[in-house]
Amino acid sequence: MSAWLNPPSLAALAVTVGVLALALQRPVRGIQLYAVLGATPLLQLGAFSGRTISQGLMMAESLATVLAVVWFVRRSSRPRRPAPFEAPWLAFALLTVASQVAVMLLPDHRVEQSAVAVAAAQLLLVLWPIGVYLATAEFVTSTDHVQWMQHAVILLGAAQLATPLLPTAWSPYLGWVWTFSIFASPFAFAAAFAARRLPARLFLIGLTLLPFVRGIQDGKVFLYLYVLAAVGTILWLRSSRLIAVVGATLAAVVLTGVVIVGDDGLARPIRALVAKEQSQSSYGGRSGRGQLARDALAIWQEAPLLGVGPANSYIYMLQRSPIGTPHNQYLNILVEFGALGLAAWLAFLGVVARTGLRIYRRTTHPVHRTFVLGWLGMFAGMVLGGVTGDFMVHSIRNGGIELFSGYYLQWIMLGGLIAVDRLERTARRQDEAPEVRLPPRLTPAGRLASVQP
């Protein structure tokens, strides 16, 4: 049976067509369905075959295409105020295309370049986030929509509490749980500050820390770095005094522990984490992250401006290393898209951070403020986590299709950030508008009466 006609592909096609039909009528419902269904495991639309693999589009990609189409068809005809970060983001996307053109015009005959289809898939991994962002920023139009986004992520992230009770055979169907657990962490922590009851606060803080615990147990550096960055950012913004108190308390506890049990008590947990990294070949040796970074920089020196082209870092890395990826977002961009591509990406991240902080400082509605606070934590976690892997611009050769299914929510939330900014600006204009008083009129009894709108 053709891979395009097998049951998972037909089911994926049915879901895609159904979401398209609904989103064309009610675009915000398309955003909400995408948020929930994007992480659906196993369903793959079609199959695009290469030499050794066959890969279909996951729900995150097929429905992202749907949202981009719906945005193009249903977008407002009124002039749109672009977000400040859209210019460097567009510049980055154009530079990725320029990198591919440069490779085609000036090929490196020492190596066999990626096939055009593979390079095109890499470019799509750059373009899909833009489509998701544009649709979300356009169609999220109320505070209820913003609140729904936050609540949905937290509630679905809470499903991780049930996974230890489920049979091991169910594991292939539960990947979506960890997608939502990652993004629930900062939004749950932000919501904990707004919760009125102590049990609710404790529950939300527990959800915040679960990815951290899993990262320590499994030796996943990204997870515990992500949570540390998210929590630290939210605490810094929400309660700088609390940071000082917590920091002083931790310092006192560590100092007391060193005095009581000696230096080994402090060093033992660190050695355990390093040992896990060594067991996974992520620290030390030819496949350690330090050596991977040196190999990536050596490749970049051969094509410093536009890089070696989309999806080609894998080919060049395998000439120097047993692993075909630098395991670092910024180095991977540097290798594939050169110094110009990395500069545009860093400019994008910098302007996004500045925009998020500006919106947070100007936001007054409690729901909006909680959302933006959680978003800032999420963004900080993704930026810092980028030193351990390609979690924002995924490498197609490093399982990019699957990775996009795990991290697509960040682009929905970025669109939600801009929607919040628009809602807040609209509310400020309404508050600042002068009161309009109509001229007096005669009442039925013949008396003058003031008429107010």
- Express each pLDDT in 54-64 by its tens digit: 678 899 999 99
**Per-residue pLDDT at 431 exceeds 50:** yes
Question: Residue 371 and residue 147: Cα distance in Å, rounded?
Answer: 8
Q: What is the pLDDT of residue 265?
A: 54
Q: Evaluate whether 307 touches 335 at the Cβ level (below 8 Å).
A: yes
Nearest to 186 by CA among 208, 202, 170, 213: 208
Mean pLDDT is lowest, of 123-132, 139-148, 253-262, for: 253-262
**Mean pLDDT, residues 180-190:** 97
**Range scoring the smallest mean pLDDT among 82-96, 173-187, 193-207, 262-276:** 262-276
The percentage of residues in the chain with a pLDDT greater than 70, rounded to a whole number, is: 83
Q: Which residues of 336-372 are buried (b: 16+ CB within 10 A; e: fewer)?
A: bbbebbbbbbebbbebbbebbeebbeebeeebbbbbb
Q: Which segment of 13-22, 80-89, 117-126, 273-282 scores lowest on mean pLDDT?
A: 273-282
What span, in angstroms and rounded, lies between the C-alpha atoms of 145 and 136? 10
Average pLDDT on 409-418 reads 98
Q: What is the average pLDDT across 428-445?
A: 66
Residue-wise pLDDT for 283-302, tens only, equals 555 667 788 999 999 999 99
pLDDT at position 453: 44
4-18, 231-245, 324-338: which is most confident: 324-338
Task: Give yes or no for residue 413 having a pLDDT over 50.
Answer: yes
Q: Which residues share a beta bridge with 451? A: 438
